[in-house]
């Protein structure tokens, strides 16, 4: 069944800590806008007023501040606000929405990382999001030690307190990296794994090829 939301394109960026998603989203948005596309950039958790308030609860403080299941429920509450207030309206206007993290992060972090049962997360997804899903997901893959090193130095220099997840133990980060790769294998082609241990411009060129391919399949010339 088609809906007005199908006028837009929903592209999500995923990966562990320090994978370079923010830089790549900026480069892709600039290139798409230069080509005349209407682009909306957003992120999770966040992207709408209520969702930003929930983000503040989740991303700072002690690693054990939330029970994993509570954490999952908060993420889906934030996601619902984000969809209803930001993503779906932009899609209905025909925009290309570039989103820094979406539900694959919940599967990877809360599911593979914290052992929340995957069927529970899939059930929440069906109730909260329905049959809407990304047109394309770019998973930026990187060695855990390299990514965590980048994330820690970035947060130290920006004096950010958004470090709750990166403080979790390395085994947690290894589980979620393996989780993202498994999600990609099971995604039926929706997800593409991008080697994020390269120069930003090389990664951007790789991403551009994947995105322009999808846009031309969908009839929207890049
Ligand atoms: P960010 O650092 O990429 O902005 O994301 C904030 C943190 O939130 C990041 O450490 C991963 C975490 N997160 C989850 O654990 N589950 C989720 O579903 C999402 C969207 C983010």
61, part of any domain: yes
**pLDDT more than 70, % of the chain:** 98
Measuring from atom 10 of ligand 1, which residue has the nearest CA? Answer: 165
Give the C-alpha distances (Å, rounded to integers) separating 28 from 38, 66, 196, 200.
12, 34, 15, 11
Residue 117's pLDDT is: 98
CATH number of the CATH domain containing 159: 3.40.50.300
Ligand 1 probe mutation, 59, 67, 138, 176, most atoms within 8 A of CB: 59
Give the C-alpha distances (Å, rounded to integers) separating 131 from 1, 90, 95, 187.
10, 17, 19, 14
CB atoms within 10 A of CB 80: 17
Q: Does the CB atom of residue 106 touch ligand 1 within 6 A? A: yes
184, part of any domain: yes
Q: Which residue in 221, 14, 210, 11 sits closest to 98, CA to CA?
A: 11
CB atoms within 10 A of CB 162: 15
Q: Does the CB atom of residue 66 touch ligand 1 within 6 A? A: no
Determine the average pLDDT of the residues in 211-222: 80
Q: Residue 210 and residue 182: Cα distance in Å, rounded?
A: 20
Q: 196 pLDDT exceeds 80?
A: yes
Residue 134's pLDDT is: 98
44, part of any domain: yes
Measuring from atom 13 of ligand 1, which residue has the nearest CA? Answer: 105
Measuring from atom 15 of ligand 1, which residue has the nearest CA? Answer: 109
222, part of any domain: no
Q: Which range of residues forms the domain containing residue 106?
A: 5-217
Q: How confident is the model at residue 97 (pLDDT cuts 50, 70, 90)?
A: very high
72 neighbors 125 (Cβ within 8 angstroms): no
Q: Does the CB atom of residue 101 touch ligand 1 within 6 A? A: yes
Q: Residue 110 and residue 116: Cα distance in Å, rounded?
A: 6
CB atoms within 10 A of CB 1: 4
* Cβ neighbours of residue 21 closer than 8 Å, sequence gap 6 or more: 13, 14, 15, 100, 101, 140
Ligand 1 probe mutation, 52, 55, 61, 105, most atoms within 8 A of CB: 105
Residue 26's pLDDT is: 98
DSSP letters, 105-173, are HIIIIIIIIT---HHHHHHHHHHHTTT---SEEEEEE--HHHHHHHHHHHHHHTT----TTTTS-HHHH
Q: Domains in the chain: how many in total?
A: 1
């Amino acid at each position: 069944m088609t809906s007005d939301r199908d006028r837009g394109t929903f592209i999500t960026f995923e990966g562990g800590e320090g994978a370079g998603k923010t830089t790549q989203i900026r480069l892709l948005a600039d290139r798409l806008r230069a080509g005349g596309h209407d682009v909306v950039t957003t992120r999770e958790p966040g992207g709408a007023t209520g969702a930003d308030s929930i983000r503040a609860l989740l991303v700072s403080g002690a690693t054990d501040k939330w029970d994993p299941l509570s954490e999952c429920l908060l993420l889906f509450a934030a996601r619902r606000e984000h969809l209803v207030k930001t993503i779906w309206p932009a899609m209905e206007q025909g925009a290309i929405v570039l989103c820094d993290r979406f539900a694959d992060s919940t599967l990877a972090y809360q599911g593979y990382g914290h052992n929340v049962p995957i069927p529970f997360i899939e059930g929440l997804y069906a109730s909260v999001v329905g049959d809407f899903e990304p047109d394309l997901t770019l998973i930026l893959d990187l060695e855990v030690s390299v990514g965590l090193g980048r994330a820690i130095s970035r947060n130290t220099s920006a004096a950010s307190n958004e470090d709750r997840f990166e403080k979790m133990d390395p085994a947690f980060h290894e589980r979620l990296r393996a989780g993202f790769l498994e999600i990609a294998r099971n995604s039926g082609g929706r997800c593409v794994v991008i080697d994020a241990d390269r120069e930003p411009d090389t990664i951007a060129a790789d991403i551009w090829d994947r995105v322009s391919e999808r846009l031309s399949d969908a009839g929207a010339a890049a």
